[in-house]
A and B are shown apart, each in its own frame.
Chain A
């Protein structure tokens, strides 16, 4: 009989009134790849953090290799042979690979021996698993895929027999993801146990032996991967049939509303993030920008909306050019009818410490509607906020409530309501449904399509390929700061995937 590497029995965990995990039971068989799927906020990461000793369960039991285990700190987990690769890498950016690998696992008080030991150990791991990386490279100079490899090396160096990976492919190109999967399979062959947390069903089907589904803090099912289907898993995840496609009619594209010309953007380190790109968005269409996170989409959005200064380039809004290299400021672009729903609503799109009504004027606070001379017109602002709350079904319906107390989906609705209700000619949206619950996703998608049908030009940037494919009338693919291809909404996932990976687009077209 297959032996359990890990058993979780009756795990409960609450944060305040939020029950992140309820009565979770889970068995992970040694030497397998076990997937855990669920939506954002389903409790996957919390569960794994409990297993890794980052949090303490309120109740329940953990058994490792059949023995009851008390895991109070990551140290306990490491001692039991559990290693974790976090979604946000836990690396010290200005340290070398070696320094990161030995951090916390130094053999004695002086570094000399530890470093020598780690160097030879890394060579061995490189031979055994094909985990190549220059031990003396500085982390921040490595590409993301290699940084992730360092995380895996860290775990293996500590003697991990059980490796937990939390959303490992979010930042990887499809090619890098494939490479990662090969490594994981190799680890499995060597007898290691791998736990893969993801919300991407494709990955589950491609690599796992067993899959467990979580929904709203509970474990709803465990299946053998080869005996289940994507449809079944999707239904289990969401709890009802999902509309994978939003209902929408044909686009009736009009004249060009937004034209981006020769845009080049560098980041603070001087690295070119957006490399001379140009494209148009016409009235009455949704243009989707697909791409793996970190290929310049964020910088492009920031430049177009005036938040980040561009090295070169301009936007034409309704036929009038605005230079993006000089003193373009978000206020001016907003006045010209460009509304922007930023990717990061927690720090950019909203001030979480503000009351809801205060956020409903952010960026439009100099609009005479909300002012009486230099003073805020509090009554007008609150009335306006109440209107939007009703119209966008924002809950709880309290415009005096602190924004931090709204859920992710409702926060996103606050931003959308603010931007859409200004009746802009052009709407640009970054990650429209990141961290948003399913109900709100549908609502947001419908709203975006309604904007399109009103004849607005809509630009959507998302790392969720499904979202791009279901919303867009035209899809532009971004890779390494350039637009490497344009496709219609009928393009297949495989075709787009190749483009996103930077494979020559002629090649991909064949």
Chain B
């Protein structure tokens, strides 16, 4: 992930190129819309209208964004340490068990503001532990983290299903889910913030977890760029040999980075459970872990970028739901396609347009493109 390229101004590097990549992804998505016989421009209008047109839509957009901020940060933290955590999905799913245990145990005795911190710890701890095993296997046994975290996703599904149809299910119920949480485990909504601006909201699950997500984004920034641990993670991420030279323990840094990543993925579980459904049910993660990959890549692994990308994906999810409703030929799976296209163009093809943009900048003003001594010559 560290191919040296000639410099571009930072705003082009972090602003222009992602926007162009995103634009291309949407153009291709537009062709898919054409393929199913709908008008892509109308589809885009419906999507944006659905996401931001009314207070209700905005609240839902931010609710989804909350989820994606967590998983995006999770993927990004691991990626800074050159670990591809494809297992945020499973880590979040298992973390739901942590939430369930805390909530089921204390929701009748504690108020939400005491229970919420406990639930955060529960979710983060379980998520971190689920990431620990692949991390340990990578660090000690050299098994490829991509494959093991992927396998752990499948294992997580089985474990959670087993528990939801077994011990966690109330005896008198058929549905594979926990009982409904009591008031103590129901998080306060933030819809009133949007209503301050004059919008009306009937009911939307936008809740206080959003603030936790923003706090985590800030903490991740501090961690990566302002702490010794973050410095060590980045060193290892760019060059394991340099990390060894600098006395950084490979085992320790892999395990710590993956546990932080798992903890962040785990916190995602709070949002749909305590914030919305008030239970832990099957499929409450529903692909958010994978969306995190797209969000992290789109946001160029930077927390600010991740928050923006998460809001974008929140918009797609909310707007996509409206779209599926308005245009029967388009299902919500359109979002999965867009997600894939964003990963393709913002991730795998992130440098496709760079040479052209560089040439463009070079022709406008050669000095902005610092070409001096590009790549240690001859050495």
Enumerate chain A interface residues (CB-CB to B < 8 A).
15-18, 40-41, 45, 305-307, 329-332, 334, 340, 342, 344, 346-354, 358, 361-363, 365-366, 371, 374-376, 378, 396, 402, 404-408, 411, 434-436
Residues of A within 8 A of B4 (CB): 352-353, 402, 404
Determine whether B328 belongs to the interface, using a CB cutoff of 8 Å to chain A.
Answer: no
Given A329-B247, A353-B2, A346 and B231 contact (CB-CB distance below 8 Å): no
Residues of A within 8 A of B2 (CB): 352-353
Chain A residue with Cβ nearest B225: A376
Determine whether B171 belongs to the interface, using a CB cutoff of 8 Å to chain A.
Answer: no
From B57-65, B176-184, B371-379, the one touching the partner chain is: B371-379
Bitwise, B241-257 to A at CB < 8 A (1) or not (0) is: 11011110100000000
In the complex the two chains form, what is the Cα distance from A461 to B229 in whole Å? 33
* B226, B229, B242, B379: the one within 8 Å of A351 (CB): B242
> Are B245 and A365 in contact (CB-based, < 8 A)?
no
Give the A-B pair count, Cβ closer than 8 A: 120
Bitwise, B66-98 to A at CB < 8 A (1) or not (0) is: 000000000000000000000000000000000
> Are A346 and B373 in contact (CB-based, < 8 A)?
no
> Are A435 and B378 in contact (CB-based, < 8 A)?
yes
Q: How far is the CB of B375 from chain A (nearest CB, A)?
A: 7
> Are A375 and B244 in contact (CB-based, < 8 A)?
no
Given A402-B7, A407-B377, A374 and B227 contact (CB-CB distance below 8 Å): yes
Chain A residue with Cβ nearest B240: A347
Q: How far is the CB of A110 from chain B (nearest CB, A)?
A: 35
> Are B377 and A331 in contact (CB-based, < 8 A)?
no
> Are B245 and A363 in contact (CB-based, < 8 A)?
yes
In the complex the two chains form, what is the Cα distance from A408 to B370 in whole Å? 17
Given contacts A16-B371, A352-B376, A375-B228, 17 further A-B contacts (CB under 8 A): A15-B374, A17-B372, A45-B378, A305-B245, A306-B247, A307-B244, A330-B247, A347-B241, A350-B242, A352-B238, A353-B238, A354-B238, A362-B245, A362-B246, A365-B228, A376-B226, A402-B4
State the interface size on chain B (CB cutoff 8 A).
32
Determine whether B153 belongs to the interface, using a CB cutoff of 8 Å to chain A.
Answer: no
> Are A330 and B245 in contact (CB-based, < 8 A)?
yes
In the complex the two chains form, what is the Cα distance from A84 to B124 in whole Å? 58
* A17, A330, A332, A352: the one within 8 Å of B246 (CB): A330
Determine whether B6 belongs to the interface, using a CB cutoff of 8 Å to chain A.
Answer: yes
Contact sample, A vs B, 7 pairs, CB 8 Å cutoff: A307-B244, A354-B238, A365-B232, A376-B231, A405-B370, A406-B376, A435-B379
* A307, A332, A404, A406: the one within 8 Å of B245 (CB): A307
> Are B378 and A411 in contact (CB-based, < 8 A)?
no
Q: How far is the CB of A413 from chain B (nearest CB, A)?
A: 13
> Are B228 and A374 in contact (CB-based, < 8 A)?
yes
Q: How far is the CB of B285 from chain A (nearest CB, A)?
A: 32
The prevalent SS among residues of A at the interface is loop
Chain A residue with Cβ nearest B245: A348
> Are B245 and A340 in contact (CB-based, < 8 A)?
yes
In the complex the two chains form, what is the Cα distance from A354 to B238 in whole Å? 9
Determine whether B239 belongs to the interface, using a CB cutoff of 8 Å to chain A.
Answer: yes
Q: How far is the CB of A126 from chain B (nearest CB, A)?
A: 36
> Are A17 and B371 in contact (CB-based, < 8 A)?
yes
Of the listed residues B244, B376, B377, the one surrounded by the most CB atoms of chain A closer than 10 A to its CB is: B376
In the complex the two chains form, what is the Cα distance from A411 to B373 in whole Å? 11
Residues of B within 8 A of A306 (CB): 247
Q: How far is the CB of B69 from chain A (nearest CB, A)?
A: 23
In the complex the two chains form, what is the Cα distance from A45 to B374 in whole Å? 17
In the complex the two chains form, what is the Cα distance from A144 to B232 in whole Å? 37
Residues of A within 8 A of B244 (CB): 307, 330, 348
Determine whether B279 belongs to the interface, using a CB cutoff of 8 Å to chain A.
Answer: no
Residues of B within 8 A of A349 (CB): 242, 245
Q: How far is the CB of B242 from chain A (nearest CB, A)?
A: 5
Given A41-B379, A374-B228, A376-B226, A405 and B238 contact (CB-CB distance below 8 Å): no
Chain A residue with Cβ nearest B6: A16
Determine whether B339 belongs to the interface, using a CB cutoff of 8 Å to chain A.
Answer: no
Residues of A within 8 A of B379 (CB): 40-41, 346, 408, 411, 434-436
Chain A residue with Cβ nearest B246: A363
Residues of A within 8 A of B6 (CB): 16
In the complex the two chains form, what is the Cα distance from A375 to B229 in whole Å? 8
Residues of B within 8 A of A404 (CB): 4, 375-376
> Are B231 and A405 in contact (CB-based, < 8 A)?
no
Determine whether B56 belongs to the interface, using a CB cutoff of 8 Å to chain A.
Answer: no
> Are A344 and B227 in contact (CB-based, < 8 A)?
no
In the complex the two chains form, what is the Cα distance from A366 to B252 in whole Å? 15
Q: How far is the CB of B218 from chain A (nearest CB, A)?
A: 14
* A344, A352, A371: the one within 8 Å of B228 (CB): A371
Residues of B within 8 A of A375 (CB): 222, 226-228
Residues of B within 8 A of A307 (CB): 244-245
Q: How far is the CB of A215 from chain B (nearest CB, A)?
A: 13
Residues of B within 8 A of A435 (CB): 376, 378-379
Residues of A within 8 A of B7 (CB): 402, 405
Q: How far is the CB of B246 from chain A (nearest CB, A)?
A: 4
Q: How far is the CB of A398 from chain B (nearest CB, A)?
A: 10
Q: How far is the CB of B376 from chain A (nearest CB, A)?
A: 5
Q: How far is the CB of B250 from chain A (nearest CB, A)?
A: 11
In the complex the two chains form, what is the Cα distance from A41 to B373 in whole Å? 12
Determine whether B191 belongs to the interface, using a CB cutoff of 8 Å to chain A.
Answer: no
> Are A376 and B245 in contact (CB-based, < 8 A)?
no
> Are A406 and B373 in contact (CB-based, < 8 A)?
yes
Determine whether B235 belongs to the interface, using a CB cutoff of 8 Å to chain A.
Answer: yes
In the complex the two chains form, what is the Cα distance from A193 to B62 in whole Å? 72
Residues 233-287 of B at the A interface (beta carbon under 8 Å)? 234-235, 238-239, 241-242, 244-247, 249
In the complex the two chains form, what is the Cα distance from A348 to B238 in whole Å? 11
Chain B residue with Cβ nearest A361: B231
In the complex the two chains form, what is the Cα distance from A233 to B356 in whole Å? 43
Residues 356-379 of B at the A interface (beta carbon under 8 Å)? 370-379
> Are B227 and A376 in contact (CB-based, < 8 A)?
yes
Q: How far is the CB of B142 from chain A (nearest CB, A)?
A: 12
